[in-house]
Amino acid sequence: MKKFLALVIAAVVLMTAQVLASNYVGNANSKKFHYADCSAVTKMNPSNRVEFNSRDEAINAGYIPCKKCSP
């Protein structure tokens, strides 16, 4: 039982780390970036997906903020 709990905790920590690592998602085709939970991100072609750790990082890469989710 303790082993199971440890596994669950490890899984939650890993998932949280992944979400924090990609707060912003850019589209290499449209050159726009979004919050990771923007509906445009789910519709995006995975091959156009570019992940950013910060807003500055996306802007420095030449991406412009999405008008819908305004990151």
Q: Which is nearer to Zn ion, 7 or 56 (CB)?
A: 56
Handedness of CA 6, 11, 12, 14 (dihedral sign): positive
68 lies in the site for Zn ion, by CB under 5 A: yes
Q: Which residue has the tokens 């905790």?
A: 9
- For residue 67 the two structure tokens come to 């008008």
Residues in contact with Zn ion, counted by CB under 5 A, come to a total of 6
Site map (CB under 5 A) of Zn ion, residues 17-56, x = contact: -----------------x---x-x----------------
State the residues that interact with Zn ion by CB under 5 A: 34, 38, 40, 66, 68-69
